[in-house]
Amino acid sequence: MKSYLLPQFAVHRDDDRCIRCKVCVSQCSFGVHAYDDEDDEIRSNEGACVGCQRCATLCPTGALVIRRHPHEFRPNANWSEEMLLDVKRKAETGAVTITGMGNDKPHRVYWDHLLLNASQVTNPSIDPLREPMELRTFLGRKPDGLLFKDGRLITDIPPQVMIETPIIFSAMSYGAISYQAQLAFMQAAQELGTLCNTGEGGWPMDFRRFGRNVIVQCASGRFGVDPDYLNQAAIVEIKIGQGAKPGIGGHLPGEKVTAAVAATRMIPEGTDALSPAPQHDIYSIEDLSMLIYALKEATNYEKPISVKIAAVHNAAAIASGMVRAGADIIAIDGFRGGTGAAPRVIRDNVGIPIELALAAIDERLRREGIRNRASILVAGGFRNSADIIKAIALGADAVYIGTAALVAMGCTLCQQCNTGKCAWGITAQDPYIAKRLNPDIATRRLVNLVRAWTLEIKEMLGGMGINSIESLRGNRLHLRGIGLQEWELEVLGVKGAGQ
Amino acid sequence: MSAQVEVLEVLAAPGAGCVTLDARGRSYRELNRTLRSLATRRGVSRISVTNVLGQRYIGTNLRGEIEVRLYGTPGNDLGAFMDGPVIYVYGNAQDGVGNTMNSGKIVVYGNAGDIAAMSMRGGKIFVKGNVGSRSAIHMKECGEKKPLLVVGGTAHDFFGEYMAGGTAILLGLSLGPGEYHKANFIGTGMHGGEIFIRGRVDPSQLGAAVKISEPAGDDMRRIADAVGEFAELFGYDAGEIMHEEFLKLSPKSLRPFAELYHAGSRDSLQLG
């Protein structure tokens, strides 16, 4: 069947600048560029271009410009080009359309409608260059109260994991991302004194040395989960859901299940790695509690157990159940959270923004008097340090970053993660392509990003006259809304600007 | 954590390396802690636990070569994440027997509840009676590690759902003459491993992902090995069990859902 889909990107090559070095030919993993020996010319198959900008970035003479294809359909407010193409694609395949990364729809980003406070006259601001600023954060259940006897603390303190900055690398599995990319996350987390999350695809043996900086997941597929996996990590996270695809499972296609991926996931090579939609031992809060305590038994009550859900309509009530079920940490992933592969229709239509979910959950747990019993981690589209500090003011203990970390490594959000062809080597499983991501350089870029954001958070804290992130946590008086309706201010629990 | 939990009373030491505990009125946390501490005690190779009543997670985080005999009814998640021990249950077991088990052996002289052998990766589970729903769900295997579940009776719905590896055997010994196995949707979404069924099963009871065949190659030898061990444990005549025919279920495809999804990019369409 001839495809009626038009190319999405146009390739403009300035022939005067092009020196026929063929970097573009070797770098494009989607097969766009080809060198014609006879004519000494490089030709481009625009239809295959995904707009990842790898060729344009590496072209030594700047000869390439990749831009949105200028073709235009007759304007129609109901039938945008995207809608037309989606219908045509389904008419040609009869299949669910899979995509990568997070929701790209223009929903309101609430972070952009929240403004931070600063000290003026009545309390002094603090200069972070001269005075210590405390960002250190402890993740885990806090006791309901402290008891002392003869000046000595006698309350049992549940296990805590200390991080130096409230920024953690989000769950991305080996298989979804390359070995090199996961190594970069581990190295960066270690250097920064924070954590990274293995995702649900197991934990390569060579990376076990990073255990103190690693969160492992126990998800519906139970890939690579054995007693050593659980005990060598700092935190064990039960993955119920993911912001990009709430309510559905996942599957790593057989062609991405290489020998190394298979060994790590502890499954046979070449089979689909299916993660069922639910965990089949969890059909209720009581069942969740059973798995939480199974994991506590398996790790001798020495590690905090986290439970991660997607932000959905009743997230606050569910979160309350999770905490009562024994979760030491609850992780909430908003609908802008990324994915290695999800049906586009789910990614773009299911779930709610993390800003609203976080505010509702923090409020609910406080009202019920159980906020101390779990740390709150939030994920789902954090783009800068201001988003992060606003999340902390709304009640988060720390923030998971995924997409931003990938962007730091080179990602341009071309949304092809699921194809395994990532030209930047980040989500590629083909060893030839994956090798182009140098783990040490990627580590440097990740460390730089988190360092820069950490410094910016200190600047903003100092401006508010606060010298410890603990004092900002859940302190919504430092936030004001702008351009928001009454119901939105109410959910966020903040006043409008000027109020 | 608190070290205040007292070690359970060790009732008797009838023979070298054998100790007996009374679990009456004890929480699972207390019982399991005691089992762990006893298992590491020099010379202890077998622990008998009497009056077991609903304590969960027995065998979890119990490493090494230790034999545990449970008298009564252990609670959910018996042997969850277990790595090594051998557990005998003289009674019925509840839900989640061998959940995500890595190695070792669990023998149940009664029935087991739902999700027996769920996500099990290695070791063996023998159940004399029946198992509940979703048993053998998402069993998997890796290299030399191939888990085995043998059920003497029948199973309820979704037996072997999402199965990705290992061997599950239903012997149908609890079925009356001409009676069919109880489970529907057997092997739904199965994409690895194998199921052998003795006793009647109608094709309508099977999931769409499974292929039916007669055991071939060394299948019968492996069935005979498993049945031999089962018969010896529970006092059956292996020859009698093997006298009836077995049906083999295996996945039609290692990638059952591949054609339902499309990568979305234009270049992955067939152009032309």
Q: What is the pLDDT of residue B10?
A: 53
B151: pLDDT strictly greater than 60 = yes
Q: Where do you find CATH 3.20.20.70 in chain A?
A: 137-496
Q: In chain B, what are the domain boundaries? A: 1-99, 111-255
* pLDDT-derived band at B250, boundaries 50, 70, 90: very high
| Average pLDDT of chain A, as a whole number | 95
Task: Indicate whether B16 pLDDT > 70.
Answer: no
pLDDT in tens, B152-189: 999 999 999 999 999 999 999 999 999 999 999 999 99
> Where are the CATH 3.30.70.20 domain residues in chain A?
9-95
Burial of A120 (0-12, 13-18, 19+ CB in 10 A): exposed
Average pLDDT of the segment spanning B220-241: 97
Q: Which residues of B touch A294 (CB under 8 A)?
A: 56-57, 60, 77, 80-81, 99
ipTM of the complex: 0.91
Question: Per-residue b/e over B16-44, b at no fewer than 16 CB within 10 Å?
Answer: eebbbbbbeebebbbbbbbbbebbeeeeb
The answer to whether B185 faces chain A, any CB pair under 8 Å, is no
User: Do the Cβ atoms of B83 and A253 come within 8 Å?
Assistant: no
* Predicted pLDDT at B49: 97
The stretch A193-213 carries a mean pLDDT of 97
For A9-95, the fitting CATH number among 3.30.70.20, 3.40.1280.10, 3.40.50.800, 3.30.10.20 is 3.30.70.20
A177 with A196: CB under 8 angstroms?
Answer: no
Higher pLDDT, B42 or A449: A449
A95 vs B99, B192, B262: nearest CB? B262
**pLDDT tens figures, A452-465:** 999 999 999 999 99
Q: Are B16 and B43 spatial neighbours (Cβ–Cβ below 8 Å)? A: yes
Residues of chain A above pLDDT 90, percent: 91
Q: For residue A230, give the nearest of B81, B140, B191 by CB distance.
A: B81
Whether B239 shows a pLDDT value over 80: the answer reads: yes
Cα A110 to Cα A359: distance, rounded to the nearest angstrom: 11
Residue in chain A nearest B99 by alpha carbon: A281
Does residue B95 carry a pLDDT above 60? Answer: yes
Q: What is the mean pLDDT of residues B234-245?
A: 96
Nearest to B100 among A31, A225, A254 (CB): A225
Closest approach of chain A CAs to the CA of B7, in angstroms?
A: 16
* Topology given in CATH for the domain delimited by A137-496: TIM Barrel (3.20.20)
**pLDDT for the residue B5:** 34
> CA of A359 to nearest chain B CA: how many angstroms apart?
33
Binned at pLDDT 50, 70 and 90, residue B262 comes out as confident
At residue B98, what is the residue type? Answer: G
Is the Cβ pair A96, B261 closer than 8 Å? Answer: yes
User: Are A3 and B269 within 8 A, CB to CB?
Assistant: yes
Put simply, whether B99 touches A (Cβ < 8 Å) is: yes
CA angle B211/B216/B221 to nearest 5° reads 125
Residues of A in contact with B118 (CB under 8 A): 280-281
Q: What is the spatial distance between Cα B60 and Cα B39, in angstroms, rounded to a whole number?
A: 12
Q: So what's the pLDDT on residue B272? A: 29
Share of chain A above pLDDT 70, in %: 100
Q: Taking CA atoms, what residue in A is nearest to B189?
A: A274
Strand pairing report for A9-13 and B124-127: unpaired
Q: Which pLDDT does position B3 carry in this prediction? A: 34
| Separation of alpha carbons A237 and A232, rounded Å | 13
Q: Does the pLDDT of residue B6 top 60, yes or no? A: no
Residue B262 touches chain A, beta carbons under 8 Å: yes
- Which band of pLDDT confidence, cut at 50, 70 and 90, is reported for residue A249? confident
pLDDT at A255 exceeding the cut of 80: no
Q: C-alpha distances in angstroms, A35 versus A9, A32, A63, A180, B109?
A: 19, 10, 15, 30, 71
Q: Chain B, 110-169: which have a CB under 8 Å from a chain A CB?
A: 115, 118-119, 121, 134, 137-138, 140-143, 145, 161-162, 164-165
Chain A residues with CB under 8 Å of B115 CB are 280-281
What CATH code would you report for B111-255?
Answer: 2.160.20.60
Give the nearest partner residue to A267 out of B56, B57, B165, using CB atoms.
B165
- What is the predicted pLDDT for the residue at A269? 87
Mutation target to probe the A interface, by most A beta carbons within 10 A, among B27, B33, B253, B262 is B262
pLDDT of residue B190: 93
- Helix, strand or coil, per DSSP, at residue B190: coil
SS (HEC) of B74-113: CCCCCCCCCEEEEEEEECCCCCCCCCCCCEEEEEECCCCC
Contact A281 B95 (CB under 8 A): yes
Q: Which of A364, A365, A452 is nearest to A408 (CA)?
A: A452
Question: Is the pLDDT score of B48 beyond 80?
Answer: yes
pLDDT band at A317 (very low <50, low <70, confident <90, very high): very high
